[in-house]
Amino acid sequence: MAFVVLVTGCSAGGIGAALCEEFAARGCQVYATARNPTKMEGLNHPRIEKLPLDVTSDEDIKSIVDHIVGKEGKIDIVVNNAGTGAAGALLDQNMDTVRQAFDINTFSILRVCRSVLPIMARRKKGLFVNIGSVVGDTPVPWNGLYSATKAATHMISEVLSMECRPFNISVMNVVPGSVRSNIAKNMTKNFELPENSLYSAFVPNIIKRINASQSEHSMPTAEFAKAVVSKALSKNPPLRFTAGGNSTIFAIFRWLPRSFVFGYLWRMYSKKM
């Protein structure tokens, strides 16, 4: 019987959409979701069903989970991929933006997992895949809010990996490096420097940071999706899986003195352009 997979944050051109395509290509029944269904254009594989889902809404999540279980009788894999960027100086972010970033990037994971856990627990089988980021381990200037949400995501994944053991449910914390997607374009479109900002001289550096994940070293989205799906469908999915451009250097950063790493990163993103 085919695996049933629920994926959040599946707008075209992003990691979620690529994961949906790859799971479907491997014979899974995939439920692709996004707040705005019109943004899932191109997901036309016959094994993919597209559904509207606002991951900040408990009611929406319950409705979608009930719909899937009503049709399939189970959910085998959940991929918590929904996310939003928040470029700029950390203290330039207004509290509405802070709450929204955590709500979408972090709290949604708790909402979705809480809704699906009883279904997986009854079968003593399942996998939660949570999409973090290398900057959740090693933050970079001008992206601090995003880094904070992903650091929390990593901790949530690690705790869930222990607390789901009684139900034989696995957790896979995916830690992407640079992967080609629409994230930089969306962040640039949404970035606006506050009128009273003390960081106006650093706008070119902020723009540089926004586009850093979309360089010639970035991993193609389809290639990244193949790697993640292969691990997710393996007999023993790893607790932590890293792939993408610059993932090796960020792995090295984790072992170096923090003061050295932060000094290096500050020099990289504070030079006059």
Active site residues: 146, 150
Contacts (Cβ under 8 Å, ≥6 apart) of 199: 88, 89, 92, 193, 206
SS3 130: strand
Among residues 9, 33, 243, 28, the alpha carbon closest in space to that of 127 is found at: 28
In DSSP terms, 240 is beta-bridged to 173
The arrangement of strands across the sheet holding 4-7 comes to 48-52, 29-34, 4-7, 77-80, 126-131, 169-176, 240-243
Six token digits for residue 126: 């399942």
Among residues 204, 199, 106, 98, the alpha carbon closest in space to that of 144 is found at: 98
